[in-house]
Amino acid sequence: MSFKQDLFAQFARVGKALSNGNRLEMLEFLAQGERSVEQLSRVAGLTVANTSQHLQQLRHAGLVDCRKEGLKVYYRVSGDDVIVLLDALRVVAERHVAEVQQLVSTYLTVKDNLEPIPREELLERVRDGLVTVLDVRPPEEYAAGHVPGAVNVPPQELEHWLDELEEQGGIKAHEIVAYCRGPHCVLAFDAVARLREKGMSARRLEDGFPEWKTAGLPVETESVE
Amino acid sequence: MSFKQDLFAQFARVGKALSNGNRLEMLEFLAQGERSVEQLSRVAGLTVANTSQHLQQLRHAGLVDCRKEGLKVYYRVSGDDVIVLLDALRVVAERHVAEVQQLVSTYLTVKDNLEPIPREELLERVRDGLVTVLDVRPPEEYAAGHVPGAVNVPPQELEHWLDELEEQGGIKAHEIVAYCRGPHCVLAFDAVARLREKGMSARRLEDGFPEWKTAGLPVETESVE
DNA sequence: ACACTATTCAAGTGATTAGTAGAATACTTG
DNA sequence: CAAGTATTCTACTAATCACTTGAATAGTGT
């Protein structure tokens, strides 16, 4: 029964694409929107040539598509089912791989206090003007799409933003919700930890922006440059 | 940021476990219930030692658990999230990998005529006694759990079963629904094709038994030996 | 304690993979 | 058309993987 073997070999091709940490990192980055090869190489910390080769493997596995515009080639995930797959992978890894659990818990010493806020709940509160939403991703990602009303404060600008806030008398009574790329992007954790140090009421949004977008919730775009 | 790298490396470990056709075949088999190493090696067509090593990789990735009983070691998937992951993998592979599409369509020349019947619809018709349900998996899998009221007719016994049926006057007016291991197990396809050749009204159940079970639908068990 | 069975472990081989470096391609701009 | 840029292609190396073989472990029945 060679049919069966062939079939599993095709599935394995997709699995193989998921078998490398750098590729997974790229995929999570691509889950947020399309990126050029050069952007991806910078995020993953790889040479451009190497990045290109990884991207071609992802393309071969059908996980990403690309589009050429002028000099640049923009890659993007080929469908929402890829995000579903990434989430399923994450769920299994979290639930079963002991090391992940340990890593997460050692990084987040006060994990329980950092309970994330559900997406729908945040949306309501934003509508009612009860929270300040913080997008801690880099400006270009923010520009490509963000939670409506969110303020873009990348990590390196957080201290500056806090100073400004304090000058203006502070908003300590106000709740702050931070989010970043996804459930395992540490930026939002860091920001929440810092805000709490300052005595502010801060929480993290469950998951991150790609999941927000996939859930069909409203997205605000702002063209940069 | 070594944390990020470590994290993706952990995810990649799960991806790596999914990067081999033989392991995927084993996982799909395990999705139906627990199996001994020897059973698995037979299904995958591998040596016992090789099978054992693959199983250890799956265990390391947290995809399967095992339980020792007497001489034998029984493996099983470590949770329903693994089945969700396998389905997500299948969806992506189907939607994007051109070769899979082609394989499926060349194997099923009359694909459109073989539209599967949804699970809930089958359940209703079974209750009303309108259909005969055929479980074309091997007896041991049938014994471990099957759709209520299903008749176990492994492929090699299909002809015999058809002969008997004809002797008894046939049930040509009756509809027959066949199912097997999953959406890509060919057994049910083969059976349906054969039944149709005989002029019978036959359809395939959507997906297979593991998905039926995961959907929370009733399961009938029968102890063998 | 003995043979017997199911599984795992350990060492070795050939194939595949991730990464590097430099050339080749394709498109834009002057 | 020439110079410049973003990406891909083509070797090449070191590491990893799938698989085989034979030995080791653990449990069963005599």
Structure confidence by residue, pLDDT tens digits, B56-69: 999 989 899 888 88
Element (H, E) at B87: helix B80-96
Q: How far is the CA of B19 from the C1' of D22 (A)?
A: 28
The SS3 call for residue B44 is helix
DSSP assigned state of A52: H
Q: Is residue B221 part of a domain?
A: no
What confidence score (pLDDT) does residue A1 get? 42
Largest CA distance in chain B: 73
Q: Residue B224: inside a domain, yes or no? A: no
Pick the residue of A6, A11, A95, A100 with the most B CBs within 10 A to test the interface with B by mutation.
A11
Please give the pLDDT value at position A110: 39
Is there a single domain that holds both residue B116 and residue B210? yes
Q: What pLDDT sits at residue B94?
A: 81
Which residue numbers in chain A have pLDDT < 70?
1-6, 96-115, 128-130, 167-174, 183-186, 196-199, 222-225
A119 and A62 both lie in a single domain: no
What does the pLDDT read at residue B15? 94
Summarize pLDDT for B180-207 with one digit per residue, the tens.
Answer: 887 767 677 777 777 766 667 677 888 8
* Residue A47 sits in the same domain as residue A109: no
Q: Are A124 and A57 within one domain? A: no
Do the Cβ atoms of B31 and B210 come closer than 8 Å?
Answer: yes
- Both tokens of A191, joined, read 């920001």
Domain identity same for B19 and B67: yes
- The CATH number of residue A37's host domain is 1.10.10.10
Which of the pair, B167 or A208, is modelled with greater confidence? Answer: A208
Please check whether residues A62 and A113 belong to one and the same domain. Answer: no
B223: in domain:
no
Task: Out of B5, B11, B24, name the one closest to residue A93 (CB).
Answer: B11
Chain centroid to Cα B49, Å, comes to 24
**Residues A170-201: tens digit of each pLDDT:** 555 567 888 888 766 667 777 877 776 666 77
Chain B partners of A193 at a C-beta cutoff of 8 Å? none
Looking at the fold, whether B125 and B28 belong to one and the same domain comes out as no
Kindly list the residues from chain B whose CB atom is less than 8 angstroms away from the CB atom of residue A62: 92-93, 95-98
Query: What pLDDT is stored for residue B24 in this prediction?
Result: 93
pLDDT of residue A128: 67
- Tell me which amino acid residue A190 is: D
Is the residue at A36 inside a domain?
yes
Q: Which nt has its C1' nearest the CA of A70? A: C27
Q: Give distance CA A17 / C1' D6 (Å).
A: 24
Chain B residues closer than 8 Å to A18 by CB: 11-12, 14-15, 18-19
pLDDT at B148: 86
Q: pLDDT value at position A225?
A: 30
How many domains is chain B built from?
A: 2
Please indicate, yes or no, whether residues A125 and A59 belong to a single structural domain of this protein.
no
- Provide the 3-class DSSP secondary structure of residue A216: coil
Are B116 and B50 in the same domain?
no
Neighbours of A108 (CB within 10 A): 16
pLDDT at B112: 38
Indicate yes or no: strand C within 7 A of the C-beta of A50. Answer: yes
Q: Are residues B187 and B141 in the same domain?
A: yes
pLDDT score of A106? 45
Whether A95 is in a domain gets the answer no
Contact A161, A176 (CB under 8 A): no
Percentages of chain B per state (helix, strand, coil), in multiples of 5: 55, 15, 30
Check if B66 is active-site: no
Residue B88 domain flag: no
Q: Does B199 reside within a domain?
A: yes
Last residue of a domain, one of A50, A81, A112: A81
- Can you say whether residue A97 is alpha, beta or left, with left for phi > 0 and alpha for psi between -120 and 50 degrees? beta
Which among A1, A91, A97 has the least Cβ separation from residue B13? Answer: A97
Domain stops at, among B46, B81, B116: B81
B69 closest-nt by C1' vs CA: D27
Q: What is the CATH number of the domain that holds A198?
A: 3.40.250.10
**B77 vs B161, residue with greater confidence:** B77
B98 is a domain residue: no
Q: Are residues B112 and B74 in the same domain?
A: no
CA distances from B220 to B36, B135, B139, B144, B177 (A): 22, 12, 14, 9, 17
User: What whole-number percentage of chain B has pLDDT above 70?
Assistant: 76
Using the predicted structure, report yes or no on whether residue B101 has a pLDDT greater than 60.
no
Whether residues B172 and B209 share a domain: the answer is yes
Backbone φ and ψ for B145, nearest 5 degrees, come out as 150, 135
Sign of CA dihedral B141, B146, B149, B154: negative
Domain-terminating residue out of A46, A81, A116? A81
Residue B26: per-residue pLDDT: 92
**Domain around B24:** 2-81
Confirm if B23 and B54 have CB atoms less than 8 A apart: yes
Cα A181-A182-A184 angle, rounded to 5 deg: 115
